Each structure stands twice: as C-alpha cells, then as structure tokens.
Amino acid sequence: MLPRRALLGFALTALAGLPGVASGQSPAPSLAPDVKRILDRGRLIVAVAGFALPPFVGGPDGKPQGSDIDLAQGMAAALGVAVDFDRRARSSDEVIDLVARHEADLAVSRLSETLPRATRVRFSRPYLMLRQALLLNRPGFAKMANGGDPVEAMNASGATVGVVSGTAAAADARRLLPNARRRDYPRWQPELVDAVRRGEVAAAYGDELEVRQALTGGPEAPLLLRPAILDDTHERIGVAVPWDSTQLLAWVDLYLETQTTPMTVEALLARPARPAAPGAAE
C-alpha cells in the first residue's frame, strides 16, 4: 500500500493536468445543449401555423405577421440570432408535431396548453388566458332555449355544435357538451361562422376572441349571432418546446416574465387587420 503522502502527490499531479486547475481557475461553464445548438446554428427555428390565424399569425405573400410572429422575433433578437419560420403545419396539432419531432426549437400559434399535448412537449408559462365561448345562431337559439342557459339548452336539445378540427376547443366541446352533436369544420372563419349564420349548426365552440371577432363581421352580424362567454373556463396559451429542452424553456419563461407586457383580448382586437395568406387552410 502506498504511503498517504505518495497518494496525495499522485492526486495533485493528476489535477495539474486538468484545464484551468493548474492555474487555480475553475473550468469555464458550458452552455446547455438545447441553447448552444441554437446559438451555434445562428438561427431560431419556430414552428407556426401555415394558415391564417388572425391576429396571431397571418400575412400575405408568405411573409409571416401577427402577435405571435412578433413574439418569436423578439425572442430571436434577445438570443442574438436570426429567426426561421416553419409554416408546414395545416392544423394546431401539426404545429405541436413539428416540435415533438425536434424539427423546430419552439412553436407559437395560439397554442392551447392541454394535458394530451403536454405528454409530448413542454409548455411555457401562459402569455395569454382566454375564456371559452359559444357563438350562437340568435334566431335559432331563441326558439330552442327560451331564455335558458346556453350550455344546458345545447345539452338538453341535442343540438349540433360546430368545432374546428384539430383544436383544443374540439375536445373541450365534447367534454362540456356531451349530448350535443358535433360537426367539424376546417376553419373558424369563414366556414364555421358562416355555418352559424345560416343555422346549419346551432352554435360554434371557440374562445372569446374568436367570438368577439365574428360579431364585427358586418352590420348584420349582431342580428344573426349571439355570444355566450363561459366565465368558469380558462384556456392557457403558451409557447411549446421539445420535451428535453429544459434550459430553453426556463429562458422562454424568463423572457415572457421580464421582456413582454401581458397580452389581452382587448389589445388583440385592436390590432390592425392583416390580409390572410392566399389559399390558407386552418
């Protein structure tokens, strides 16, 4: 067995060979891999909806515009990198898929934070809270409900409710309106809103922003449409990152907390209207 002094000498010799130790300095800390990958690439890849989703995502001629586009550009600028938008997704679930497959660093596009989605990706703190809502056919609902509660009337009558395919609202409608018949539509505007106007469905299930936007669609809109805001519901809208991007998620949370102002429905409604990209489908 070697004497204790000899063992100490061997240990000091080994440590002297490590970078920074011989000079008495600690090794420089390295960046977390998920953030380093973005900085080394020099670009932040952001998955967004490849369809018009005003006021969050839109823009003509393939140029992304909207509040979520502004948010992504701000995060890229804070990281000191350029931003590339991946617009292949044709539904909100497909936006999540791009992140889950590590084909994008993060995703925005009015993404609802749901339990099924959270099994595949991580979500940031919400940057917007929305209440869910029904857009009712005013004449038809007056006959059906006779002044009653909209949700109770829809369940009691087994009326048809329209939803947008591949959205969190579609799943919520099934839970809140189990007795109603459900009909899927590709987009909120114009297909689903027009279906409510025609009385093709008794109501459309969405959020308060979508419903309030529909009520501004011409002078006849308030005569044909009625909103029903569901005050006891809350929809969290956040940024999605891959499940293993824990450091990036912490950075996004800090960015949202310190570098942005709270997003509100009123502020979103006040944004100037942008033309939708031609041929966009939701």
Residues 43, 179, single domain; the answer is no
Residues 153 and 144 sit within 8 Å (Cβ to Cβ): yes
Angle at 100 between CA 98 and CA 102, to 5 degrees: 70
Residues 77, 120, single domain; the answer is yes
Residues 141, 217, single domain; the answer is yes
Residue at 113 is within a domain:
yes
Measured distance CA(108)–CA(87) in Å, rounded = 11
Q: Please list the pLDDT of the chain residue by residue as tens digits (282 residues).
A: 445 444 434 443 444 444 444 445 555 568 999 999 999 999 999 999 998 888 999 876 668 899 999 999 999 999 999 999 999 999 899 999 999 999 999 999 999 999 999 999 999 999 999 999 999 999 988 888 776 789 998 888 889 999 998 888 888 999 999 999 999 999 898 999 999 999 999 999 999 999 999 998 888 999 999 999 999 888 999 999 999 999 999 999 999 999 999 899 999 999 865 444 333 333
Residues 241, 109, single domain; the answer is yes
CATH of the domain at 218: 3.40.190.10
Q: What is the end-to-end Cα distance of the chain in Å, rounded?
A: 75
Nearest Cα residue to 180 out of 214, 226, 130, 144: 144
Residue at 193 is within a domain:
yes
Counting the structural domains of the chain, the total is 2
Q: For residue 8, what are the contacts with CB-CB under 8 A and spacing of at least 6?
A: none
Residue at 279 is within a domain:
no
Task: Enter the pTM of the model.
Answer: 0.81
Residues 135 and 196 sit within 8 Å (Cβ to Cβ): yes
Residue at 200 is within a domain:
yes
For 183, left (φ over 0), alpha (ψ -120 to 50), or beta?
A: beta
Measured distance CA(206)–CA(222) in Å, rounded = 17
Residue 168, φ and ψ in degrees, nearest 5? -65, -30
Residues 110, 246, single domain; the answer is yes
Q: Which domain holds residue 254?
A: 33-128+237-269
Exposed, middle or buried: residue 56 (CB in 10 Å: 0-12, 13-18, 19+)? Answer: buried
